[in-house]
Amino acid sequence: MLLNFNEIKELTVPGMNNGTGMMTAKMYMDEQGKVIPCSIHTGGSIGLHKHETSDDINYVLSGNGKAICDGQEEILSAGTCHICKKGSEHSIINTGNEDLVLLTVVVER
């Protein structure tokens, strides 16, 4: 299967999961999960939320931030990968002066 994100419309999401600021994303979704290239813009965050049915894998392409997963803080930078396992809760915060660019893969299980 080939996914061409050049052909997928970009969405602008304010305050994702009651977070702050803006996020832009393109999304592919089916019953097995999602693939989401996205950017959390400067000063933005994804609010604290729980993954009841899936693992959430966030690979950092560029920028700086932090994830808080089950109360533990993780520093994010290019080349790091934050994984929020099924049953855990997390938030992601852009702490840098540029977009925090992620490739997010959500695996339903």
Give a three-class secondary structure readout of the chain. CCCCHHHCCCEEEECHHHCCCEEEECCEEECCEEEEEEEECCCCEEEEEECCCEEEEEEEEECEEEEEECCEEEEEECCCEEEECCCCEEEEEECCCCCEEEEEEEEEC
Q: What is the pLDDT along the chain (109 residues), one digit of tens a residue?
A: 999 999 999 999 999 999 999 999 999 999 999 999 999 999 999 999 999 999 999 999 999 999 999 999 999 999 999 999 999 999 999 999 999 999 999 999 9
pTM check: above 0.85: yes
CA gap 86, 98 in Å, rounded: 30
Q: Which residue ranges form the domains of the chain, and what is each CATH number?
A: 33-108 (2.60.120.10)
Pairing of strands 33-40, 22-25: antiparallel
